[in-house]
Structure 1
Amino acid sequence: MKKEEKIRVGISIGDLNGIGSEVILKTFEDSRMLDFCTPIIFASVKILSFLKKHYKSNVHLHGIDKISQALDGKVNVLNVWKESVNINFGKEDLKIGSYAIKSLKQATEALKNDEINILVTAPISKHSIQSQDFNFPGHTDYLNQELEGNSLMFMITEDLKIGLLTDHVAINDITKTITPELIEQKIKTIHQSLRQDFAIMKPKIAVLGINPHSGDNGVIGTEDDEILKPTLQKINESGILVYGPYAADSFFGSDTHKAFDAIVASYHDQGLIPFKTLSFGKGVNYTAGLNKVRTSPDHGTAFEIAGKNVADHNSFKEALFSALTIYKNRIEFQELTKNPLKKQPRKPQNKA
């Protein structure tokens, strides 16, 4: 990519009855954002104009019918549909969900075809998106199907990064899902992401136990001793610095997490409860392990405040900046890998 070319950011609109459109508009009310990227919102200029008026936003929208019409210095809105849409803030609606999927699918196609460089997704309602044509629990699973690689939900801030062995899996299925193969795959994905996406050349990774107190030597479950520990030892022998399993209940309260570049949680709430407690409003959901860059804010549709013009847009803004940084880091990593003598090794940096 030439230096003068701005990074093209595709933005899927998410659930129109939620706060996604609000946080998108608020982010680009600061015209300086256009110095960093060229945004292309996959939606409808008609509906964005309505929402702009509702939120009394000063954003200038540039409607386009083809991505090739997108202009630098403008907030571009690609018309994925042109018909009117009835907004009912705060309500789950399958029809509204279908527009969220139209936006996501077209943005993903553009990402696959290199018409956009990165993808930032606004929140969707997991219930409203379900249909015969779309049967996924969320963005991550869909993107894992559509893009090359093995996806991993990686929750990130500048100082805290938490990856998950299992994400949207029911509690009673967790121990059946965690296998040595899965553990090895996820940790290798995190290790590679830390190196290529965050410029941390020798990352240290901590792993939280599956059971309370990591099983207490088999008293509270045997999975930690029989599955997790031997797999971590094998991974360590391959040269990856991985430590654990650590008892999850005291790990964050004792600030042990600060000694590591990333933490691997065994299941969704084990990782996301401390992450959102420590960084809510600043966190980013990054889909690591894929051949393309996708980020999202760390919150959902927030139906309870939708339409009230009180939503905090900082997490969406962080998601955008994180995607830009990761994209640039990947280019630099690829150049360094192809020409190892061309540049000095990069200094470790945790900044997302």
Structure 2
Amino acid sequence: MSKQEKIIVGISIGDLNGIGSEVVLKTFLDARMLEFCTPVIFASVKLMSFYKKEFGLDMNFHGIDTLDKIIHKKINVLNVWKEPVEVHFGKEEAKAGEYAIKSLTAAVKALKDSKIDTLVTAPINKSNVQSESFNFPGHTDYLAKELNGQSLMLLISETLKVGLLTDHVAVKDISKNITREVIEKKINTIHQTLIQDFGIEKPKIAVLGINPHNGDNGVIGNEDDTILRPTLDNLRNNGKIVLGPYAADSFFGTGNYKNFDVIIASYHDQGLVPFKTLAFGSGVNFTAGLDKIRTSPDHGTAYDLAGKNEANYDSFKEAVFSAISIYKTREEYLEISKNPLKTSRRKSFVKKK
């Protein structure tokens, strides 16, 4: 990407019957968005024209069949397929999942080939996308296979960041998936992410306990004492500011989360319930730890809203802004790392609505 060009943001369309199409198009209905980035929607012009008409949107697309035809200051639509596809808003259908994966795999290939700079994914349905060729619990697991690095789900907003030691894991399997190796790997990934992607020089990290009340000295489980505490001690001895474990039930209610750059939860709901309570509608899911940047909104397909022209697109818009900001911060970090003697003043990316 030359300095004169905008960051190219690839967009996978998600479940065709969900709200993905609506939030994507309404995000770029504001022409000012094209001053920040160049969007490329991986779908088809026929499909996007259907959505445009369905939602009564006054906007134009630049249809392309190859990524070398991208035009800046246009809403580019790459024809991943050309055949017409029926859309049945609000219905969970295998066909909708099939096309969601066609969009996703094409977008990820473009990301790997550096044809696009970042990827923003609209929501998929984890059930109807399953097939012999795609057998993953979600985007994060698929990206972990396709890209380089140690992937980690990191939920971000302007005031809160929450990472997970385990993500899409059944409750009965949580404790056996939290080992010393996993804890160290995840915390090291988050520590590096905060430095290179968010410009935080000395990250302050809080870790929530595995069991209620951190196990109450072994009365409600001993994993906090035998696995979590010794690992955190070791990380602190290696110079990281890692505090905890904290009892999860009171941590957010007391406002203690405001004292840290990131909070690491032991499992999915322990972290996502408070995050979505505090930041729902403005939160972003960032796949940290990989060599490429991917973000998504903090909501799902929302079949109950699909086709009603009522979906809130704030979270998707924030996902686009976050992808741009993270890309710029990482590029600056990598440039400085290549030449540590070079002086550079960080410029924060100001989000404009």
What's the TM-score bracket when you normalise by the shorter of the two chains? over 0.9
TM-score, normalised relative to structure 2: 0.98
Give the aligned partner of residue 114 of structure 1.
114
User: Helix, strand or coil: the match of 1:303?
Assistant: coil
**1:300-333 alpha-carbon deviations (Å, 9 max, x no partner):** 0000110000000000000000000000000110
Report the CA distance between 1:344 and its aligned residue.
4.6
Residue correspondence of structure 1 range 140-159 to structure 2 within 5 A: 140-159=140-159
In structure 1, distance between residues paired with 2:240 and 2:305:
44
RMSD of equivalent CA atoms: 1.4
Is 1:164 the counterpart of 2:164? The answer is yes
Residue correspondence of structure 1 range 182-221 to structure 2 within 5 A: 182-221=182-221
User: Helix, strand or coil: the match of 2:8?
Assistant: strand
In structure 2, distance between residues paired with 1:326 and 1:163:
16
Is 1:238 the counterpart of 2:238? The answer is yes
In structure 1, distance between residues paired with 2:249 and 2:278:
15
In structure 2, distance between residues paired with 1:73 and 1:127:
36
Give the aligned partner of residue 12 of structure 2.
12
Report the CA distance between 1:339 and its aligned residue.
1.7
Is 1:75 the counterpart of 2:75? The answer is yes
Report the CA distance between 1:346 and its aligned residue.
4.5
Code of the residue aligned with 1:317 in structure 2: it is: K
Judge conservation of contact 2:325–2:349 (CA < 8 Å) in 1: no
Among all aligned residue pairs of Structure 1 and Structure 2, give the percentage whose two residues are the same amino acid: 66
Judge conservation of contact 2:19–2:305 (CA < 8 Å) in 1: yes
Report the CA distance between 1:239 and its aligned residue.
1.0
Give the aligned partner of residue 223 of structure 2.
223
Is 1:319 the counterpart of 2:319? The answer is yes
Q: Which runs of 4 or more aligned residues in structure 1 lie more than 3 Å from their structure 2 counterparts after TM superposition?
A: 344-351
User: Helix, strand or coil: the match of 1:41?
Assistant: strand
Report the CA distance between 1:2 and its aligned residue.
2.5
Give the aligned partner of residue 334 of structure 1.
334
Return closer, same or farther for 1:116/1:349 CA change in 2, 3 Å cut-off: closer
Code of the residue aligned with 1:329 in structure 2: it is: T
In structure 2, distance between residues paired with 1:279 and 1:158:
9
Judge conservation of contact 2:167–2:267 (CA < 8 Å) in 1: yes
Give the aligned partner of residue 255 of structure 1.
255
> Can you give the 5+ residue segments of structure 2 that lack an aligned partner in the other structure?
none
Report the CA distance between 1:350 and its aligned residue.
12
Return closer, same or farther for 1:348/1:181 CA change in 2, 3 Å cut-off: farther
Return closer, same or farther for 1:267/1:29 CA change in 2, 3 Å cut-off: same
**1:140-167 alpha-carbon deviations (Å, 9 max, x no partner):** 0000000000100000011100000000
In structure 1, distance between residues paired with 2:324 and 2:154:
16
Code of the residue aligned with 1:69 in structure 2: it is: K
> Can you give the 5+ residue segments of structure 1 that lack an aligned partner in the other structure?
none
TM-score, normalised relative to structure 1: 0.98
In structure 2, distance between residues paired with 1:45 and 1:252:
45
